[in-house]
A and B are shown apart, each in its own frame.
Chain A
Amino acid sequence: EDQVTQSPEALRLQEGESSSLNCSYTVSGLRGLFWYRQDPGKGPEFLFTLYSAGEEKEKERLKATLTKKESFLHITAPKPEDSATYLCAVGGSQGNLIFGKGTKLSVKP
């Protein structure tokens, strides 16, 4: 059964303190690894798609990387506005996404 596990559940950082979020996955065949950002009371906002081990993508202070078993979302010099829940998902066989429970990130000024 396809499964996604994210860690840590919650992460508190000081502004400027870089860190990484982890997403471990077990799938029968990878159809893409997806990162979303979700703010309170809103729907998930698409960030990145990764398809093959070694692939990397960047957007502002965020960088996503992928290995055969896990993905990392690196946050460099975060700002308070980066506070959100970050969701990781893998593509299912019918176009659906299988999500982890998310990492709630808080960045304090």
Chain B
Amino acid sequence: NAGVMQNPRHLVRRRGQEARLRCSPMKGHSHVYWYRQLPEEGLKFMVYLQKENIIDESGMPKERFSAEFPKEGPSILRIQQVVRGDSAAYFCASSPETQANYGYTFGSGTRLTVV
């Protein structure tokens, strides 16, 4: 049973380009969460999605960032017109529908570097 799969592991983008980060949840998990970890900072919640629905996006920056979790395929975190401040590690986590204790499983992350 594969864990949460994120790709790519490392992504380099020039300022102004778009970044697309992908997350495939664990088999049987229908809830996906995205977090961002800036250097020397803690993990910060960005968005919580279920299949075809955004449940909570209170942690998402208002501009340039969007997320989706389609009926088929992985969840996508999209960052348009990247800036140097977007450089960070982005982690995805998933949990099953019946999970009640938030002990969800994280992927290994995508490290985004904006040059």
Contacts and interface: CB of A to CB of B under 8 A. Distances in A.
Contacts, number: 65
A48 to B, nearest CB: 8
B109 interface: yes
Nearest to B109: A43
Contact of B102 (A31, A43, A44, A87): A31
B106 interface: yes
Nearest to A91: B102
A101 B91 contact: no
Interface in A1-34: 4, 31-32, 34
Interface residues of B, number: 27
B102 A32 contact: yes
A105 to B, nearest CB: 16
A91 B102 CA distance: 7
A63 B69 CA distance: 37
Given A42-B108, A96-B59, A34 B44 contact: no
B45 A97 contact: yes
Nearest to A100: B42
A87 B43 contact: yes
Interface residues of A, number: 26
A17 B53 CA distance: 48
B115 interface: no
B65 to A, nearest CB: 16
B18 interface: no
Most A-side CB within 10 Å, residue of B33, B43, B106, B108: B43
Interface of A: 4, 31-32, 34, 36, 41-46, 49, 51, 87, 89, 91-92, 94-102
